[in-house]
Amino acid sequence: MNQYPGQQPFAGRIPQPIRPDGAGATDFGPRDVLRDMENPDMLVPPVTDAGLVPNLKFSFSDTHMQLNHGGWSREVTVRELPIATTLAGVNMRLTPGGVRELHWHKQAEWGFVIMGGVRLTAVDQNGRNFIADVGVGDLWYFPPGIPHSIQGLEEGAEFLLVFDDGSFSDLDTFSISDWFAHTPKEVLSANFGVPESAFANIPTEQVYMYQAAVPGPIESQKVPDPYGTVPLSFTHRLLAQEPIRTPGGTVRIVDSTNFPISVTIAAALVEIKPGGMRELHWHPNNDEWQYYLSGTGRMTAFASNGTARTFDVRAGDVGYVPFAFGHYVQNTGNDSLWFLEMFKSDRFADVSLNQWMALTPRELVQTNLNVGPELLDALRKEKWPVVRFPNFPSPTRSS
């Protein structure tokens, strides 16, 4: 007899789609047991789930890997996750010296360093240049159309790129090599005032990524610019920022209020400690695009009209919450769950269910929900983005 699969998913038992009350039946297969073990709340959804809520997650492990000399990239866009129309994400690795070539695109680019370090370069429309080295927990923002490059430093790097258009693809950008390859040589000659022989060895197609030597110290690469450097920095140290601390974890918010150049993308870096939960809330401005950096959790999206759906999430997953849908993210593991909440917006904004209730006349809440002092006295006027249930592990998983 199998136990409730959510209880001990790695105890050596094969989980079965059966509820504690007996609803369901064994699955003889064909089936992917490892995936079922990773998704206990999808194999046996909470009884509160109901209705037709579309898919809200996609793992980078299920994407096409673009392997190049110098690194790799893979992306989750509207083609992988159709509901995710506001933002697209690219997970990229660069070797030491590996270069994502000089390029630009129609979308703004927001980057977050997961491992190692990279050197960034850019030049704006007024000829003001930018160069910076960034490391773990740092981020950058390139406005639409601004040309730039990324190069791995001594350790190489892995990072997440987020673009403010779900239909973006990093394999469809304006690359310098691609333009050269598709411009008549006599035009290149006229443009630069040099003989055509200067272009004898240019690449014949888009390079995208390539292996180069690790660049020298940043001072050695700075190009003196008669127009000065860009007026608003393209980089920000997010992890170095002092977080909002609550008993369940930490939150670091970055948007145009503390990173002025980032006018189309806002984010929160959230840490949920074991036993903690990103509280029940929603966002009054736009959809939420999530990237899970570490750990495991589960999220239920409440879609109104009696519909809700629960997803198990883990490191490497992209999650998505449509505009205004209520949701929580609960840590289901024994390590901290870190993730990014991203919005196509100039600001981060969320509405806390708890805070809303605490700041509403008590009688309304009492009569509306038929609740008593036990709940009413515990409501908090102060927003706690991450909460912690006192008795860890949370009993919701074993009921």
Q: How far apart are CA 311 and CA 328, in angstroms?
A: 11
Nearest Cα to Cα of residue 252 among 265, 260, 242, 266: 242
Q: Does 317 bind Mn ion (CB under 5 A)?
A: no
Rounded least distance, CB 281 to Mn ion, Å: 6
Please identify the residue of the shown chain whose CB is closest to the bound Mn ion: 109
Rounded least distance, CB 97 to Mn ion, Å: 18
For Mn ion, the closer CB: 108 or 315: 108
For Mn ion, the closer CB: 36 or 109: 109
Rounded least distance, CB 35 to Mn ion, Å: 25
Residue 155: active-site member: no
For Mn ion, the closer CB: 16 or 310: 310
Q: Are 92 and 233 in contact (CB under 8 A)?
A: no
Q: Would you report the helix, strand and coil content of the chain in percent, each value rounded to 5?
A: 15, 35, 50
Rounded least distance, CB 187 to Mn ion, Å: 25
Residues 276-295 binding Mn ion (CB under 5 A) are 288
Residues in the interface with Mn ion (CB under 5 A) total: 2
For Mn ion, the closer CB: 109 or 158: 109
For 269-289, the DSSP string reads EEEE-TTEEEEEEE-SSS-EE
Residues 59-118 binding Mn ion (CB under 5 A) are 109
Catalytic pick among 196, 341, 363, 374: 341
Rounded least distance, CB 59 to Mn ion, Å: 19
Length reported for the chain: 399
Rounded least distance, CB 341 to Mn ion, Å: 5
Angle at 284 between CA 281 and CA 289, to 5 degrees: 75
For Mn ion, the closer CB: 35 or 106: 106
Residues 212-231 binding Mn ion (CB under 5 A) are none
For Mn ion, the closer CB: 138 or 288: 288
Q: Which residues are catalytic?
A: 341
Binding site for Mn ion (CB under 5 A): 109, 288
